[in-house]
Structure 1
């Protein structure tokens, strides 16, 4: 008998944990493992899906099938024996958990099925695709989402299941509170999410020629924008460079299109931990994460965004309180702790309402800041 329950963490093909750890050692990513799931090693025996080597032609075929289905069936099929060995399975997005439902089925280990983009895409699905996805969702004990908007969507679209809010949390950046702000009015915007409104930020930058902007994004959408001369686009960042750019900026801007899934949470949490003033589009339930710690503006409202940035670089928008990330339960430890609490419930324990609370979680996982 195992000393601790065995949890298999099913991640996307491009998030192979061993390759990720190599990137972490080179300083290319903030977390030792994707989303910090290694922090649960105190509570569970952890195993990770393996991203098998494949030729270019096979990779193209796998990705094409995944795009058509909405989940990576081939990647999960290759890991089916590992997944069936689990006491519980963790997933990070629907691209994994729908595939697990198809491959492992209702009789397999219980699955913590976290959805991220599913309910944004749902409205564009036809009747047949909705029926297939609904059938797969019903095979899971529970679905969790990061946003109250998603929560309402999921419960209404496929009723009769357990769906709960699970606030996201991530590793923050070093605090720059007390550091003298740079003399040049400057703003930092970071993100690769498809819901970043880069054209709106470019329009705001044109209206604010005395403010210098650094945009950090590897997305095609960011590259396709005609940025004005007071914007520098950087495709990638290391832990150190992102911390340096945060210190060199007077504020952080998170411009968003309307969405359902609280896009922008990671950027907001990083700014919150660093203590930089934030100007954030109020979209997708993100306001639950930052209300009272950021200037919220309506999505798509150029005038509001410009005024918010003007006030932030002028010091009129205050930075978030020093303990905001911790007090709101938005650390990586809190996030993984919520996964641990859900797993305890899946394995026969009682439900803990701390799973859905924007408050610190005590679940016996490795503390934030620990190796």
Structure 2
């Protein structure tokens, strides 16, 4: 079976593979989707249109029509099935196709989408051959609020060969990362101020004080940042799409203990007191206390980090993710 992959953000397989060979990004293809070939699904990735006109049209259509990837949406494809990573490529693909089944992930939709984004999604998603999400908390919402008949929970996977433990920990260094609108880096900054001896670095493009921000890092450099951390902490506002999940799993794969909020979907990836610590979302004092515990106890932090690495390898690798996606494709 051939799966035609339609990805957002102009991702190009050859360019990604080149960056991977330089150690800048994980996996040979984005999200490890090349691994589908191990499970009876031959992936063929759409090559995004390039050039000034295409980029200008893409920006304009995304701005006016719900953020979706419309410019490449109506190109012919050579697959038996169309596979999209998220709704921004998935919704246009579903509305386009009349004969080929479309399987799509959904990442952002269940957390207060813009009206135009919601309008297109409500007309498209019920027609999809398959819909999945990495956050289990999204599954009932996709079914009850968006009309998806049988949404599937497929856990997110991380390249466990790219994200590996490093032996260069800096005691007291707390690290975070992320750019989505549910990140609450300012809560984390305030919490760090209550932890004696702790210092903080955040890989983000969001507006935070310069003394905490690390900007312009590729994923290989973010991995090295995890390698220096004694703790990786995530702070978010309430959400159900599991904001902070990628950072959490990358840090765990690097053998670092994590501190995360108890948002639905995210918390199930971390075993409290075994692979990390969980605090009530938005609770600044509880976040500070969790960080303090790990900064003050190197042996506990080491044991949690080692357990976190084992769990990611066992349950949350991109190899396992590819196997689960292939199973979903074969079932349609």
Report matched runs for 1:161-310 at 5 Å: 161-172=149-160, 173-176=163-166, 179=167, 181-182=169-170, 184-208=171-195, 210-217=197-204, 219=205, 221=206, 224-226=207-209, 229=211, 231=212, 233-239=214-220, 241-292=221-272, 293-310=275-292
State the match for 1:93 in structure 2.
Answer: 86
- Of the candidates 319, 332, 343, which is equivalent to residue 304 of structure 2? 319
| Equivalent position SS for 2:226 | helix
Report matched runs for 1:48-67 at 5 Å: 48-55=45-52, 58-67=54-63
Distance change in 2, residues 1:62/1:247 (3 Å): closer
Query: CA RMSD, aligned part only?
Result: 2.1
Taking structure 1 as the reference length, the TM-score comes to 0.80
Distance change in 2, residues 1:225/1:161 (3 Å): same
Distance change in 2, residues 1:162/1:181 (3 Å): same
**Is 1:111 equivalent to 2:102 in the alignment?**
yes
Deviation at 1:235, TM superposition (A): 3.0
State the match for 1:146 in structure 2.
Answer: 134
Deviation at 1:114, TM superposition (A): 0.8
Deviation at 1:13, TM superposition (A): 4.2
After superposition, give the CA deviation of every residue in 1:347-371 in whole Å (9 maximum; x if it has no partner). xxxxxxxxxxxxxxxxxxxxxxxxx
| Equivalent position SS for 1:143 | strand
| Cα separation, 2, equivalents of 1:333 and 1:280 | 25
| Equivalent position SS for 1:75 | coil
Taking structure 2 as the reference length, the TM-score comes to 0.89
After superposition, give the CA deviation of every residue in 1:282-341 in whole Å (9 maximum; x if it has no partner). 2141011113321111221111111111111112555141521133x2001011111100
- Of the candidates 1, 17, 23, which is equivalent to residue 21 of structure 1? 17
| Cα separation, 1, equivalents of 2:216 and 2:35 | 29
State the match for 1:332 in structure 2.
Answer: 318
- Say if 1:263 and 1:284, in contact at 8 Å, map to a contact too: no
| Equivalent position SS for 2:232 | strand
- Of the candidates 116, 120, 145, which is equivalent to residue 111 of structure 2? 120
| Equivalent position SS for 2:316 | coil
- Say if 2:169 and 2:230, in contact at 8 Å, map to a contact too: yes
Distance change in 2, residues 1:304/1:235 (3 Å): farther
Which stretch of structure 1 is more off in the superposition, 40-49 or 163-172? Answer: 40-49
- Say if 2:236 and 2:261, in contact at 8 Å, map to a contact too: yes
| Cα separation, 2, equivalents of 1:244 and 1:66 | 34
Distance change in 2, residues 1:41/1:206 (3 Å): same
**Is 1:72 equivalent to 2:69 in the alignment?**
yes
| Cα separation, 2, equivalents of 1:50 and 1:209 | 50
- Say if 2:91 and 2:120, in contact at 8 Å, map to a contact too: no
- Unpaired segments ≥5 residues, structure 1: 347-371
After superposition, give the CA deviation of every residue in 1:143-182 in whole Å (9 maximum; x if it has no partner). 1111122111111113361211111111131124xx5843
State the match for 1:133 in structure 2.
Answer: 121
